[in-house]
Amino acid sequence: MDPVLLVASIMVSATPILLAALGEMVVEKAGVLNLGVEGMMITGAVMGFAVAVGSGSPLLGFAGAALAGAVLSLSFGLLTQYLLSNQVATGLGLTLVGLGLSALIGSSFEGLRAPSLPKLDLPLLGDLPVLGPMLFRHDIMVYVSLALVGAVWAFLKFTRAGLILRAVGENHDSAHALGYRVVHVRLAAIAFGGACAGLGGAYVSLVRVPQWTEGMTAGAGWIALAIVVFASWRAFGVLLGAYLFGGVSVLQLNLQAAGTTVPVELLSMSPYLITIIVLVIISARGVHGAPGSLGRPFHAAA
Amino acid sequence: MIRLERRLEPSRLWTVLTPLLAVALTMLAGGLMFALLGKPPLEAIRTIFWDPLFHPQFASYSRPQLLVKAGPLILIAIGLSVGFRAGIWNIGAEGQYIMGAVCGAAVGLAFYPSDSALLFPLMVVAGGLGGWAWAMIPALLKTRFGTNEILVSLMLVYVAQNILASASSSWLRSPEGMGFPGSRNFKQWPAVHNAELLPETGMHWGVVAALIAVIAAYVLLARHIQGFNIRLTGEAPRAARFAGVSPARIIVLCLGISGTLAGLAGLFEVTGPAGQVTIDFNSGYGFTAIIVAFLGRLHPVGILLAGLLMALTYIGGELAQLMLGLPGASIQLFQGMLLFFLLATDVFTNYRIRLSRREVA
Amino acid sequence: MGDTLLSIRGLTKAYPGVVANDDVSFDIGQGEIHALLGENGAGKSTLVKMIFGLVKPDRGEMLLEGAGYAPGQPSEARRSGVAMVFQHFSLFDALSVAENVALGMENPPAPRDLARQIREVSETYGLPLDPGRTVGTLSAGERQRVEIIRCLLQDPRLLIMDEPTSVLTPQEVEILFQTLRKLKAEGTSILYISHKLEEIRALCDAATILRLGRRVGTCIPREVTARQMAEMMVGASFATPEPRGGVKGEVLLAVAGLSLPAPGAFGTPLRDIRMEVRRGEVLGIGGVAGNGQDELLMALSGERLAPAGTIRFKGTDVSRSGPVERRAAGLLSGPEERLGHAAAPNMSLTENAVLTAARRQGLVRHGLIDWGRAAGFAEEVIARFDVRTPGPGTAARALSGGNLQKFVVGREILQNPDLFVVNQPTWGVDAAAAAAIRQALLDLAAQGAAIIVISQDLDELMEISDRFAALNEGRLSAARAVADLDMEKIGLMMGGAHDMEVAHVEG
Domain extents in chain C: 4-234, 251-346+399-506
C356 Cβ under 8 Å from any chain B Cβ:
yes
**CA quadruple C365, C371, C376, C379: dihedral, nearest 10:** 140
Amino acid at A15: T
Q: Is residue C486 exposed (0-12), middle (13-18) or buried (19+ Cβ within 10 Å)? A: exposed
Question: pLDDT tens string for chain C (507 positions)?
Answer: 458 999 999 999 987 667 789 999 999 999 999 999 887 778 888 899 899 998 899 999 999 998 999 998 888 999 999 999 887 658 898 899 999 999 988 888 888 899 999 999 888 888 888 999 999 888 778 888 898 888 888 889 999 998 888 777 777 888 889 999 999 999 999 999 887 788 888 899 999 998 888 898 889 988 988 778 877 877 655 455 555 566 688 999 999 999 999 887 778 899 999 999 999 999 999 887 778 999 999 999 999 999 999 999 999 999 999 999 999 999 999 999 998 999 999 999 999 999 999 999 999 999 999 999 999 999 999 999 989 888 999 999 888 888 899 999 999 999 999 999 999 998 877 778 888 899 999 999 999 999 999 998 888 888 899 999 999 889 999 999 988 887 778 878 877 754 444 334 333
| Record: contact C73-A179, CB cut-off 8 A | yes
In angstroms, the CA C399 to CA C142 distance is: 34
> In angstroms, what separates the C-alpha of A179 from chain C's closest C-alpha?
5
ipTM confidence: 0.89
In angstroms, the CA C85 to CA C146 distance is: 9
Which pLDDT score, from 0 to 100, does residue C243 have? 53
B226 Cβ under 8 Å from any chain C Cβ:
yes
| Record: contact A273-B159, CB cut-off 8 A | yes
The β-bridge partners of C26 are: C8
**CA quadruple A126, A132, A133, A136: dihedral, nearest 10:** -60
Helix (H, G, I), strand (E, B) or coil at C159: strand
Which whole-number Å values give the CA distances from B211 to B72, B203, B262, B291, C466, in the listed order? 11, 11, 14, 19, 61
Nearest residue to A280 via CA among C51, C207, B137: B137
Sign (positive or negative) of CA dihedral A229, A231, A232, A235: negative
| Record: contact C93-A170, CB cut-off 8 A | yes
Nearest to C94 among A170, A179, A180 (CB): A170
- CA Rg value for chain B: 22
Which pLDDT score, from 0 to 100, does residue C17 have? 63
C-chain residues near B3 (CB < 8 A) = none
Q: From the centroid of its chain, how far is CA C298?
A: 18
| Record: contact B244-C59, CB cut-off 8 A | no
DSSP annotation of A206: I
Contact in structure between B192 and B125 (CB atoms under 8 Å): no
Which pLDDT score, from 0 to 100, does residue B3 have? 74
Contact in structure between C194 and C165 (CB atoms under 8 Å): yes
Which pLDDT score, from 0 to 100, does residue B251 have? 97
Nearest CA in chain B to A103: B329
Which pLDDT score, from 0 to 100, does residue C175 have? 86
In angstroms, the CA C65 to CA A243 distance is: 61
Give the chains touching C; criterion: ≥3 Cβ pairs < 8 Å: A, B
B-chain residues near C351 (CB < 8 A) = 228, 232
What is the secondary structure of C297-328 as a DSSP string? HHHHHTSSPPPTTSEEETTEE-TT--HHHHHH
Domain C251-346+399-506 has CATH 3.40.50.300: yes
In angstroms, the CA B293 to CA C72 distance is: 43
Count how many Cα atoms sit within 13 Å of the Cα of residue B284 in the half-sphere of its side chain: 16
In angstroms, the CA A36 to CA A78 distance is: 14
Nearest residue to C158 via CA among C46, C44, C81: C81
CB contact set of B201 (below 8 Å; sequence gap of 6+): B64, B67
B-chain residues near C302 (CB < 8 A) = 244
Whether A292 shows a pLDDT value over 90: the answer reads no
Contact in structure between B331 and B7 (CB atoms under 8 Å): no
| Record: contact A177-C86, CB cut-off 8 A | yes
C-chain residues near A180 (CB < 8 A) = 103
| Record: contact B361-C60, CB cut-off 8 A | yes
B249 Cβ under 8 Å from any chain C Cβ:
no
| Record: contact C93-A292, CB cut-off 8 A | yes
Nearest to B8 among C57, C371, C398 (CB): C398
Residues of A (103-122) whose Cβ lies below 8 Å from B: 103-104, 106-107
What is the secondary structure of C216-269 as a DSSP string? EEEE-GGGS-HHHHHHHHHSS--PPPPP--PPP-SEEEEEEEEEE--SSTT---
For B133-174, write each residue's pLDDT tens digit.
999 999 999 999 999 999 999 999 999 999 999 999 888 998
| Record: contact A96-B291, CB cut-off 8 A | yes
CB contact set of A160 (below 8 Å; sequence gap of 6+): C102, C108
B3 Cβ under 8 Å from any chain C Cβ:
no
Which pLDDT score, from 0 to 100, does residue C415 have? 96
Contact in structure between B242 and C341 (CB atoms under 8 Å): yes
Which whole-number Å values give the CA distances from C114 to A170, C101, C153, C176, in the listed order? 22, 9, 9, 23
What is the secondary structure of A25-89 as a DSSP string? HHHHHTT---TTHHHHHHHHHHHHHHHHHHHS-HHHHHHHHHHHHHHHHHHHHIIIIIS---HHH
Nearest to B148 among A94, A223, A229 (CB): A229
A-chain residues near C78 (CB < 8 A) = 179
Q: Determine phi and psi for B6, rounding to 5 degrees.
A: -65, 130
> At the topology level of CATH, where does C4-234 sit?
Rossmann fold (3.40.50)
Strand bridging mode C206-211 / C33-37:
parallel
C366 Cβ under 8 Å from any chain A Cβ:
no
Phi-psi region of C475 (alpha: psi -120 to 50; beta: other; left: phi over 0): beta
B-chain residues near A228 (CB < 8 A) = none
C315 Cβ under 8 Å from any chain A Cβ:
no
Nearest residue to B242 via CA among C328, C292, C407, C304: C304
